[in-house]
Amino acid sequence: MKVSGIIIFLTIVLSIYTLANWYIFTRTSPLFTGSLFKIIGSNIVFWVIVFAYPMGRILERVINSDFSIFFVKLGSFWLGAMLYLILIFIFIDIIRVLNHYLPFAGFLDYKTNPLVRLTTIKIVYSLATLIIIAAIINARNPRVNHYTLKTLKSSVEKKPLRIVAVSDIHLGTLISSNRLKSLVKMINSQNPDIVLFAGDVFDEDIASVVNNGLGKYFEQIKSPLGVFAITGNHEYFGGVEQKINYLTEHGVKVLIDSTSLVDNRFYLVGRNDRQSNYSTGRQRKKVSELVASIDRSKPIILLDHQPFNLNESAENGIDLQISGHTHHGQLWPFNYITTAIFELSSGYRLIGNTHFIVSNGYGTWGPPMRLGNRPEILVIDLE
């Protein structure tokens, strides 16, 4: 993407972000009372929290430090709080508008009942806090989602293949050693034949991953047929080559528009993420190109991070496609948006003879929260 395009995009995003937070500010400001010093201080604290996330992300690209980490973490929690504060305040505003034209609750008139306004603001923040706590707890408790699938093709040894697949870990400032250690333990407990990472292993900047030595945990994965990964869109944010090299150095084979015949039993096909088209200007290969020279009598497993154009895999004899990217919205009600955008936002679908599974993902992007869906790892027994 050209620099001018990036500037325009960021300007639009920051403008919308600022307006959304201005709405919250106007609804919250009645709490900022007292001396002039307290009022000014409250205003400064509010807007520092609002812009903590973008400031932290900028700072960590310059120098990764405790200061930048603090701002990223503070801002990430605000992103989740912002969503539910806006939704609740909008709901209350709708009720107040209805009450204005069709009076049914006189106490909602803030002009005559200023104390009700202050109480309402406190209730809104209390309710948002409870929602956030529930979302944080949910995000830290992944499930194992088990599928047993059959393919019309047979492998050489004709024995079931156990796949453990994980997408969207988003390793970085927020998701670090403890979460990755737990993930590796979950993976190994399933006794996989092969382990697949379906993109977005990393978040954005890789410095915290390197500084904390997280690569050693990948080396602890027990997988007789190997550990494979593909790129996701986040691998292209902050330098893709360094991330690919880091995985390779720690025992993970990265497939970038390439195929691998595994154990002479099945083919693994890894697509480069579609973000590469914009970041590098080079178009990724079509599925038909990737499978053109392989033995179609063997099962073919395709990893493609973003689940677009599913018919392309179905038309080219893919037996199983594993994707991620959607997070199934991550935070309600965004799941309605991802369901509208993607043919399959979460779960399983059979198209022709091709099995499709889209994972909710293991980690989170932005707010370390999930609501309306569970984080997961996939266990797939292919028979």
- Span 233-288, pLDDT tens digits: 999 987 899 999 999 999 999 999 999 999 999 999 999 999 988 877 788 999 99
Confidence of residue 160 (pLDDT cuts 50, 70, 90): confident
| Cross-strand bridge partners of residue 194 | 163
Average pLDDT over residues 330-347: 96
Distance, in Å, from the CA atom of 271 to the CA atom of 232, rounded to the nearest integer, reads 9
Strands 347-351 and 354-358: antiparallel
Which of 73, 106, 138 delimits the end of a domain?
Answer: 138
Query: Among residues 77, 86, 10, which one has the least CA distance to residue 334?
Result: 86
d(CA 122, CA 24): 13
Band (pLDDT 50/70/90 cuts) for residue 65 is: confident
Whether 56 and 97 map to the same domain: the answer is: yes
| Domain at 297, CATH number | 3.60.21.10
> Which residues make Cβ contacts (< 8 Å) with residue 111, sequence separation at least 6?
none
Question: Residue 217: pLDDT band by 50, 70, 90 thresholds?
Answer: very high
What average pLDDT does the segment 347-356 reach?
95
For the chain, the C-alpha Rg in angstroms (whole number) is 24
**pLDDT at site 282:** 82
Residue 3's pLDDT is what? Answer: 63
Q: How many CB atoms lie within 10 A of CB 64?
A: 19
Give the helix, strand, coil percentages of the chain, each rounded to 5. Answer: 50, 15, 35
In this predicted structure, what is the pLDDT of residue 16?
94
Higher pLDDT, 108 or 317: 317
DSSP designation for 267: E
- Chain mean pLDDT for the chain: 91
Give percent above pLDDT 70 in the chain. 96
Do 229 and 273 belong to one domain?
yes
Task: Say yes or no: 243 and 215 in one domain.
Answer: yes
Domain stop point among 91, 118, 138: 138
pLDDT average, residue stretch 31-53: 92
Number of domains in the chain: 2
Residues 319 and 355 in one domain: yes
Residue 263 backbone class (left: φ over 0; alpha: ψ -120 to 50; beta: rest): left
Confidence of residue 2 (pLDDT cuts 50, 70, 90): low
- Please state which of the ranges 58-72, 183-197, 236-250, 325-339 shows the lowest mean pLDDT: 58-72
Do 103 and 230 sit in the same domain of this protein?
no
Please tell me whether residues 308 and 322 are part of one structural domain.
yes
Look at residue 5 and tell me whether its pLDDT is greater than 90: no
Question: Could you tell me if 354 and 375 lie in one domain?
Answer: yes
106 confidence band (pLDDT: 50, 70, 90): low
Residue in the block written with tokens 């603090």: 70
Note the pLDDT of residue 107: 67
Co-location of 193 and 99 in the same domain: no
Write down the pTM of the prediction: 0.91
Quick one: pLDDT at residue 78? Answer: 96
Domain final residue, candidates 101, 119, 138: 138
Q: Rounded to 5 degrees, what angle do the CA atoms 272, 278, 279 make?
A: 80
Q: Which domain holds residue 128?
A: 3-138
| Pair (77, 159) in one structural domain | no
Mean pLDDT of 222-234: 96
pLDDT reported for residue 157: 58
The verdict on 127 and 203 lying in the same domain is: no
Burial label, 224 (beta-carbon count in 10 A; 0-12, 13-18, 19+) = exposed
Who contacts 345 (Cβ-Cβ below 8 Å, separation ≥6)?
307, 326, 328, 329, 335, 338, 339, 358
Q: Is the per-residue pLDDT at 122 higher than 60?
A: yes
Same domain, 114 and 151: no
Kindly state whether residues 150 and 264 are assigned to the same domain. yes
